[in-house]
């Protein structure tokens, strides 16, 4: 269900400490999101492309990953230029396309794609386990790290359970349709899933107690201190900061 197709590699980005990559992606994506100028947005886009190239990721796979966003962007491109107030660029009977609307659409498009590319290059290049480790080391509360790791581990188990229940229903002639019986059946399935998930949670907790669990998060990953890590973080932070300051002075 969850494929970590970018997680394994030998590029410079892959060798960076997860902690550094998480911080860098947060800094960069905030700077991108706060940017309000088309030219600056393009600069951030170029930065994200550079990071993708540095991580040596396959462009076609990246493009496939971006597909869901394109649908969202398509909606914006249909609605915004027609509804945004501003100078009229083109008029067709009652429909007015405004220049400001088009520029806003460009900004939204570039910024959202940039943020996704940043996350693909920096976060998708680590396993969920390393992500948990990195989050733990930037002092995200242990409970939240556990929540992430456990969801990752059990989402496939819960999906399997759901499929099993659905199969059992289908074998007894259940044919989903738009009627009360179908809705009821799905409600039963969902209810059953919750019951099973909570029972399983109990058993998992018991199993953890049996192995001496004491609410502490332990991890095996070991990232030796490397000067490249801090250099990378400094370059990223300096670049984002200077871009933000430039934008503030310029405009």
Partner 1 sequence: MFNNSSVIKLEDISFSYLGSDTKVLDHLNLEINKGDRIGMMAPNGSGKTTLLHTIMGLCKPDSGTIKVFGKVLNHEKDFLPVRSKIGLLFQDSDDQLFCPTVLDDVAFGPLNLGFSRADAIDIARKTLEKLGILYFEQSVIHKLSGGQKRLVALASVLAMEPEVLLLDEPTAGLDNIVKKKLIHILNSLDISYFVISHEFDFANAVTDKIYSMENGKILRDDEIHIHRHEHVHKHGKHPHIHK
Site string for partner 1, 139-158 (x = CB under 8 A): ----------xx-xxx-xx-
Q: How far is the CB of 188 from partner 1 (least distance, A)?
A: 23
Q: Is 216 in the site for partner 1 (CB under 8 A)?
A: yes
Site string for partner 1, 178-207 (x = CB under 8 A): ----------------------x--xx-xx
How many helices (H) and strands (E) the chain has is answered by 9, 2
Query: Is the Cβ of residue 87 or residue 222 nearer to partner 1 in the bound state?
Result: 222
Residue recorded with tokens 């819960």: 158
Query: Is the Cβ of residue 65 or residue 200 nearer to partner 1 in the bound state?
Result: 200
The contacts of residue 184 (CB under 8 Å, 6+ apart) are none
What residues between 113 and 132 interact with partner 1 by CB under 8 A? 127-129, 132
Q: Residue 116 and residue 172: Cα distance in Å, rounded? A: 44
Q: How far is the CB of 220 from partner 1 (least distance, A)?
A: 6
List 98's β-bridge partners, or say none. Answer: 88
Instruction: Determine which residue in the list 10, 178, 198, 214 makes contact with partner 1, applying CB under 8 A.
Output: 214
Q: Which helix (H) or strand (E) holds 168?
A: helix 142-171
Q: Residue 78 and residue 58: Cα distance in Å, rounded? A: 30
Q: Is 10 in the site for partner 1 (CB under 8 A)?
A: no
Nearest one of 18, 4, 233 to 136, comparing CA atoms:
18
């Amino acid at each position: 269900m969850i494929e970590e197709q970018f997680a394994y590699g030998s590029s410079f980005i892959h060798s960076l400490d997860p902690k550094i990559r998480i911080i860098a992606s947060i800094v960069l994506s905030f700077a991108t999101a706060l940017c309000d100028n088309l030219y600056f947005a393009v600069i951030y886009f170029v930065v994200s492309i550079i990071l993708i190239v540095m991580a040596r990721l396959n462009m076609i796979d990246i493009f496939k990953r971006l597909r869901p966003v394109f649908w969202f962007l398509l909606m914006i491109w249909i609605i915004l230029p027609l509804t945004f107030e501003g100078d009229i660029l083109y008029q067709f009977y009652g429909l007015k396309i405004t220049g400001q609307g088009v520029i806003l659409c460009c900004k939204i498009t570039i910024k959202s794609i940039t943020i996704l590319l940043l996350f693909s290059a920096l976060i998708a290049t680590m396993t969920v386990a390393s992500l948990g480790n990195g989050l733990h080391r930037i002092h995200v509360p242990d409970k939240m790290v556990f929540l992430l790791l456990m969801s990752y581990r059990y989402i496939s188990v819960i999906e399997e359970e759901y499929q099993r229940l659905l199969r059992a229903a289908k074998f007894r002639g259940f044919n989903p349709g738009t009627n009360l019986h179908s809705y009821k059946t799905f409600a039963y399935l969902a209810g059953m899933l919750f019951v099973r998930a909570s029972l399983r949670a109990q058993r998992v907790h018991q199993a953890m107690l049996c192995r001496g669990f004491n609410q502490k998060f332990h991890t095996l990953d070991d990232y030796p201190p490397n000067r490249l890590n801090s250099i990378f973080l400094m370059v990223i932070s300096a670049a984002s900061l200077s871009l933000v300051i430039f934008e503030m002075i310029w405009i």
